[in-house]
Structure 1
Amino acid sequence: MVNNATPEYNLLFKLLLIGNSGVGKSCLLMRYAENTFTENFFNTIGVDFKIKTTTLDSKIIKLQIWDTAGQERFRTLTSSYYRGAHGILIVYDVTDQDSFECVKNWVSEVDRLANDTVCRILIGNKCDREADRKITFEQGADLAKQYEMPFLEALAKTSFHVEEVFNVITKAIDEKFAKNQQTQTSFSNKLKKGSTLEGGPKTTSC
């Protein structure tokens, strides 16, 4: 039987939140997925995930967002979640120098474990705590530029830039997906015409 029902979504993207323990990954996820916030968040044990459906350019996109534990003892468990991720959100706490310095380690993890095509974004969380701030906006932006990824400061407590963070990474993934689709179509058309990858002459076989 043919199912004529409208599909629930057009695209499914897997996102991964990474960063040191206590930087606010779970708070960012809860604010985005459920628009809730609590000061009394316990550290994530292993992994947790939420589903959020959003719309981009008339396309319905389902986001499967995985929240990983930042503690070293869970690293072996959480490393498997890098595979198949379309987007990775690297989070640090603007009041925690160590969490910022560890960004380079998290980037190395992404380079080692994730697909080459994965999209990345750097997030400086807890940006309302100016009296305790250790990392300036400019430092965050410079580091993001060094690793060629977008950068935003955010605040899960008030939802400042939380929606924007996920919109930016979703749009980046969608654009890369569309570009890959175009490349595959172009490649298929070349094969149909009998041309080689190097653009050489048509070949025949007998």
Structure 2
Amino acid sequence: MASKQERKIDQFPKAFMPKQSGKNDFDQQLLDELPNRIGDQPNLTTAKVIVIGDVSVGKTSIINKYCRRVFDKDYKATIGVDFEVEDFVIKGSNFQLQIWDTAGQERFQSVARAYFRSSNAVIIAFEFHDETSLDHVRSYACIHVVLLLQKEEELADYEKEAVQLAEKLNAEYWRTSAKAGINVDEMFNRVAVLAFERIVLKQTEVRKTIKLEDIGSGTLSAESKKTSGGCCT
């Protein structure tokens, strides 16, 4: 079986509602750092995104559409967790995204929450015509990157409520369809870039902190030697 082709991303993926997001371009600090990472395969950046939500809201369908280019109309419930791996080259830098699919049944929610806490990004799925599934989104507040999605159907009166909830959670609202392939690639590509940027910037900050500590240690060492030498004369 031939390996899947890497997804190359050079332009920052747009949000479904750009005005709501406010994030429409790569961070300049990231662009300054990337030349140091190109071709650095041993330090491959990896992120984990988890897809959660009520049972039968389309979590598996949206993942299969993105990763396998298929849509299965026959519903099969996910048992526990499953995952796919997608490889990217973002602005010339290697990146890997693990997409975790979780079961929506109540008995598996504790498992989903365990993966939720260790993820770099979260996609919360809800069904357009099931307001209860939207209500359950509120229980998943407080995570680094959260995106909401729903199946592409006729617009409902409570779509405004979904958008307002996304804003309250500092999240992005997406309207998607696995069946029609609407906004599937766009959403996952944006998730990948947002997670990639967050990780690289965090790694850059850590390296800067370590360098500052090394400089501080070197200064103290030099001063210590100078003081010690003076005492011996």
TM surpasses 0.5? yes
What CA RMSD, in Å, does the superposition of the two structures yield over aligned residues?
2.7
Alpha-carbon distance between aligned partners in 2 of 1:161 and 1:89, rounded to the nearest angstrom: 14
- Residue 202 to residue 141, structure 1, CA distance change in 2 (3 Å): farther
Give the one of 97, 102, 117 matched to 1:63. 97
Give the one of 50, 54, 57 matched to 1:23. 57
Counterpart of 1:198 in structure 2 is none
Displacement, 1:103?
A: 0.4
Counterpart of 1:162 in structure 2 is 184
Q: Which runs of 5+ in 2 are unaligned?
A: 1-38, 229-233
Alpha-carbon distance between aligned partners in 2 of 1:41 and 1:8, rounded to the nearest angstrom: 40
Alpha-carbon distance between aligned partners in 2 of 1:185 and 1:9, rounded to the nearest angstrom: 14
Displacement, 1:64?
A: 1.4
Aligned residues: 185
TM-score with structure 1 length normalisation?
A: 0.79
Offset from partner CA, 1:156-192 (integer Å, 9 cap, x none): 1111111111112111111111221221122122212
Q: Secondary structure at the match of 1:21?
A: coil
TM-score with structure 2 length normalisation?
A: 0.71
Q: Which runs of 5+ in 1 are unaligned?
A: 196-200
Alpha-carbon distance between aligned partners in 1 of 2:201 and 2:42, rounded to the nearest angstrom: 23
Letter in 2 for 1:142: Q
Displacement, 1:9?
A: 8.4
Higher relative contact order (CA 8 A, sep 6+): 2
Letter in 2 for 1:119: V
Q: Secondary structure at the match of 2:174?
A: strand
Counterpart of 2:168 in structure 1 is 146
Letter in 2 for 1:126: K
Give the one of 154, 162, 165 matched to 1:130. 154
Letter in 1 for 2:169: Y
Give the one of 141, 145, 162 matched to 1:119. 145
Larger radius of gyration: 2
Q: Which has the higher helix share?
A: 2
- Cα pair 1:95 1:135 within 8 Å, conserved: no
Percentage of identical aligned residues: 26
Letter in 2 for 1:174: F
Give the one of 213, 218, 221 matched to 1:191. 213
